[in-house]
């Protein structure tokens, strides 16, 4: 049997608003006509992006210099070079090859089989993100191929077979940024970085013995992009995958991701003394993480290195669209429970990535947003000029979280446009003042809704004064003086 990833239609792509499936050869032969790849969820999307980036780097064994990188954009034979590379490795890019099935370890026949639904989809007692009904306990071959990619790097962890409880994948928590172009060709080129090839660094499909157990450092960027944290062998019945054999694979040394990865932001954990991905907090929106994602504002933060490479080596679109993908699990003993994912697009002006002075305006806007968010927390109750009756106090406390959500939703809608206006240093001071006033006005409107719901004049007067003081504290000092 054979299922060639080069010719079989398994990768979802978008063209003119329609989704269709293509093989690798068709994808690259027509990559300037596809708008993008289009997976059904962020984990698969991240895995597909990383896989395609690895193919381009592997085919080119570069670019090693800025000059080589710039030349790729004008190379009319680039797709042909990539397709020729893929054809050289066609037998290793076959899902059902008898000796070298794609991303599978044929030595696992002694391990018991697990139904594919148990290994891939979530049980009914977990927070459901994706779920396949019990009456169809199988995957199509295109789905199975995408799931193989995901399971090697974006697996939840927890008990997934009768014998194995693997940990979470290396790309499980955090946000992944992928600059996007007008076509899939532009997107993949924008996501390339400096790559100096070594003989030892090979993607998994070039390695004769890529699977194993125990701790192992990646041998380079290609190894990092295709590193196998699981040992998997699929059971195929006709055109469906019904079971798999699953075992733990290689384990990355703690903190190694910050050395190899170019698409995630990292933060330094002082206690553990290691760099870890900036966590995706389900309670935070994209604008709250933007300090670490877009700009290195402290020594304890590292923004994604792809921004540094692009800023130094290519004139970006202004603004540059960036797709931000993330997925998070509960952590701790609840590691197998998915809790949140994001799929956002942010248009980032080049000056915000490159100009520290411009970034200070953006940083000021973020600080203001967070300060006004604090108005709708329990801390505001300490500004009450006299005690509130217990019932009214409990009413206010109960409504604060929903009011903060409403404010943060407003901020999230306005923030992308704010980035564009703050990038113009001449307009930035005026725009920042308007941002302050809009936050103040919107917060006052939310306060009015709450205050008017209180039962008597005295409670409303106390609450009005309390929130007035909290809003006063949220404004920067010059604004406070003017308000006083």
| pLDDT tens for the 484 residues of the chain, in order | 899 999 999 999 999 889 999 999 999 999 999 999 999 889 999 999 999 999 999 999 999 999 999 999 999 999 999 999 999 999 999 999 999 999 999 999 888 898 887 777 655 445 445 545 455 678 999 999 999 999 999 887 665 555 555 667 889 888 999 999 999 999 999 999 999 999 999 999 999 999 999 999 999 999 999 999 999 999 999 999 999 998 889 999 988 889 999 999 998 888 888 898 888 877 788 888 887 788 765 667 889 999 999 988 988 888 999 999 988 776 666 666 677 788 998 999 988 888 888 888 999 999 999 999 999 999 999 999 988 888 899 999 999 999 999 999 999 999 999 999 998 888 899 999 999 999 999 999 999 999 998 988 999 999 999 999 999 999 986 655 454 4
Interatomic CA distance for residues 87 and 56, integer angstroms: 13
Domain count, the chain: 2
Domain boundary among 326, 352, 378: 352
- Summarize pLDDT for 266-297 with one digit per residue, the tens: 988 888 888 988 888 777 888 888 877 887 65
Interatomic CA distance for residues 164 and 169, integer angstroms: 14
Q: Is residue 443 part of a domain?
A: yes
Spatial contact of 275 and 266, defined as CB atoms under 8 Å apart = yes
Domain boundary among 352, 375, 390: 352
* Domain co-membership, 369 together with 338: no
* Domain co-membership, 437 together with 327: no
| Phi and psi at residue 426, to the nearest 5° | -70, -35
Q: Is residue 203 part of a domain?
A: yes
Spatial contact of 46 and 171, defined as CB atoms under 8 Å apart = yes
pLDDT recorded at residue 118: 74
What value, to the nearest 5°, has the Cα angle with vertex 185 and ends 266 and 26? 120
pLDDT recorded at residue 333: 64
* Domain co-membership, 366 together with 337: no
* Domain co-membership, 130 together with 271: yes
Q: Is residue 1 part of a domain?
A: no
Q: Is residue 6 part of a domain?
A: no
* Domain co-membership, 403 together with 343: no
pLDDT recorded at residue 438: 97
* Domain co-membership, 383 together with 339: no
Q: Is residue 121 part of a domain?
A: yes
Q: Is residue 83 part of a domain?
A: yes
* Domain co-membership, 318 together with 221: yes
How many other β-carbons are positioned within 10 Å of the β-carbon of residue 307? 26
* Domain co-membership, 197 together with 116: yes
pLDDT recorded at residue 481: 47
Q: Is residue 3 part of a domain?
A: no
Q: Is residue 204 part of a domain?
A: yes
Q: How many CA atoms lie within 13 A of 305 on its CB side?
A: 12
What is the model's pTM? 0.91
Domain boundary among 322, 352, 382: 352
State both tokens at 23.
């093989």
Give the CATH number for residue 474.
Answer: 1.10.132
* Domain co-membership, 175 together with 273: yes
Interatomic CA distance for residues 50 and 432, integer angstroms: 37
pLDDT recorded at residue 388: 87
| Phi and psi at residue 184, to the nearest 5° | -65, -35
Interatomic CA distance for residues 288 and 409, integer angstroms: 12
What residue numbers bound the domain in which 380 lies?
355-483
* Domain co-membership, 339 together with 361: no
* Domain co-membership, 169 together with 146: yes
Spatial contact of 118 and 64, defined as CB atoms under 8 Å apart = no
């Amino acid at each position: 049997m054979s299922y060639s990833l080069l010719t079989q239609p398994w990768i979802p792509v978008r063209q003119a608003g329609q989704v269709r499936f293509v093989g690798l050869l068709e994808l690259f032969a027509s990559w300037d006509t596809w708008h993008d790849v289009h997976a059904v969820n962020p984990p698969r999307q991240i895995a597909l992006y990383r896989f395609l980036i690895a193919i381009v780097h592997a085919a080119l064994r570069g670019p090693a210099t800025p000059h080589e990188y710039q030349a790729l954009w004008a190379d009319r034979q680039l797709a042909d070079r990539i397709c020729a590379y893929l054809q050289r490795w066609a037998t290793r890019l076959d899902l059902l090859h008898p000796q070298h099935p794609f991303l599978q370890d044929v030595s696992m026949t002694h391990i018991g089989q697990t139904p594919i639904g148990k290994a891939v989809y979530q049980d009914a007692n977990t927070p459901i993100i994706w779920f396949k009904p019990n009456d169809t306990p199988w995957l199509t071959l295109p789905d199975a191929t995408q799931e193989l990619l995901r399971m090697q790097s974006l697996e939840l962890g927890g008990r997934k077979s009768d014998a194995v409880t693997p940990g979470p994948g290396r790309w499980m928590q955090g946000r992944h940024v992928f600059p996007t172009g007008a076509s899939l060709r532009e997107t993949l080129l924008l996501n390339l970085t400096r790559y100096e090839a070594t003989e030892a660094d090979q993607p998994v499909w070039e390695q004769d013995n890529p699977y194993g157990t125990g701790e192992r450092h990646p041998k380079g960027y290609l190894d990092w992009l295709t590193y196998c944290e699981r040992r998997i062998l699929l059971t195929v019945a006709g055109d469906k995958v019904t079971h798999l054999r699953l075992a733990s694979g290689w384990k990355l040394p703690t903190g190694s991701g910050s050395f190899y990865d170019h698409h995630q932001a990292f933060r330094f954990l002082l206690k553990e003394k290691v760099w870890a991905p900036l966590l995706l907090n389900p309670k935070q929106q994209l604008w709250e993480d933007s300090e670490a994602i877009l700009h290195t504002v402290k020594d304890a933060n590292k923004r994604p290195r792809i921004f540094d490479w692009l800023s130094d080596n290519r004139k970006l679109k202004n603004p540059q669209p960036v797709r931000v993908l993330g997925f998070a699990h509960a952590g701790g003993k609840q590691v197998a429970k998915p809790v949140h994912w994001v799929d956002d697009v942010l248009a980032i002006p080049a000056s915000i990535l490159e100009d520290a002075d411009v970034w200070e305006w953006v940083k000021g806007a973020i600080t203001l947003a967070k300060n006004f968010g604090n108005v709708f927390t329990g801390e505001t109750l300490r500004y009450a000029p006299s005690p509130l009756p217990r019932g009214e106090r409990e009413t206010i406390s109960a409504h604060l979280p929903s009011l903060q959500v409403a404010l943060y939703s407003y901020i999230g809608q306005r923030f992308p446009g704010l980035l564009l206006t703050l990038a113009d240093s001449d307009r930035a001071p005026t725009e920042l003042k308007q941002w302050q006033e809009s936050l103040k006005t919107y917060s006052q409107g939310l306060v009015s809704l709450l205050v008017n719901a209180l039962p008597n004049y005295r409670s409303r007067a106390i609450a009005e004064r309390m929130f007035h003081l909290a809003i006063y504290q949220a404004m920067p000092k010059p604004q406070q003086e003017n308000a006083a």
